[in-house]
Amino acid sequence: MTNPVYPCLWYDTQAKEAATFYCSIFQSSSISYETPLVVHFELEGVQFMGLNGGPQFKFNPSISIFVTCKTDEEVNYYWEKLSSGGNVLMPLDKYDWSDTYGWCADKFGLSWQIYKANTDDNAQKVVPLLLFSNEQFGNAESALNFYTSLFDHSEIVGIARYGEDTPDYKGKVLHSSFRMTDREFMAMDGPGDHQFKFNEAVSLVVECDTQQEIDHFWEAFTKEGEESMCGWCKDRFGVSWQIIPGILKELMSDQEKGPRVMEAFLKMKKFDIETLLKV
């Protein structure tokens, strides 16, 4: 199975505005598809979906977007653009892990970590990062093992752990990199009392070609997690997923059939491809 996995960002009504803003900042970027409900766009080759879902869910630092830069000038560029009108979570400064690093929330509330490092020219520049904190603290490695077991072409690339200088956290994941279907993600355990946790504001979309694939991922994530509506579910770590048919965009683009397809899937928890094709 080769199933695209990418973040979905939940906005009130500003999905197109946000996508346009991000595409104006990152060089290799474009909007590829849009409807009044969703906008698909790419940033440096990484796919995203923006959803106009209403005011129910708000971004928080539990999932951020990590941007790796090679120079101070590049860091300063992204920091200025992304922090303008937003909030600073960790000031742009020198830290033990980087000569130049900062963590901010942009004007829409989405969190970004901007980082200077020597990386390969082919390295993925924009990477979603999951922060396991509060009741999920210490579960990052279990999540990595679980996620990479579900997807083909997936692996844990590397794990850095808390050491002897932090005995309360020794062995927990300080930082890690892993791949799901050849796409890079990051994860870390976040010690301390954080006033946030994973929620639906950032979910991970899995596109499936067959009902068998939908069943596979749905059953895996909901076994110790929970089901929701319209292909949404949560895994046992509280991370939200959308398990959707890859053909959904095509069906929704059909002016005659699209409204019937939406009416049908609004009644579903797990997507049923055969039902959608028949409406």
The residues spanned by each domain of the chain are 5-190, 203-278
**pLDDT band of 1, cuts 50, 70, 90:** low
Same fold flag, 5-190 and 203-278: yes
Check: CB of residue 237 under 8 Å from CB of residue 224.
no
pLDDT score, position 100: 94
DSSP state of 108: T
Output DSSP code: residue 169. T
- Give mean pLDDT, residues 105-115: 98
Two tokens, residue 157: 């690339």
- Give the Cα separation of 130 and 171 in Å (integer): 18
β-pair type (202-208, 240-245): parallel
Q: Which CATH superfamily is domain 5-190 in?
A: 2,3-Dihydroxybiphenyl 1,2-Dioxygenase, domain 1 (3.10.180.10)
pTM (2 d.p.): 0.95
Number of Cβ within a 10 Å radius of residue 71:
10
pLDDT over threshold 90, residue 252:
no
Residue range 186-239, pLDDT digits in tens:
999 999 888 899 999 999 999 999 999 999 999 999 999 999 999 999 999 999
Residue 179 has a pLDDT of: 96
**Which of these, 248, 243, 255, 253, lies nearest to 276 by C-alpha position?**
248
Is the domain spanning 203-278 CATH 1.50.10.20? The answer is no
Amino acid 135 reads E
Question: What does the pLDDT look like over 166-178, one tens digit per residue?
Answer: 989 999 999 999 9
**Residue for token digits 């020219």?**
121
Q: Which residue has the tokens 């080759």?
A: 45
Q: Is 83 helix (H, G, I), strand (E, B) or coil?
A: helix
Residue pair 183/5 in contact by the 8 Å Cβ criterion: yes
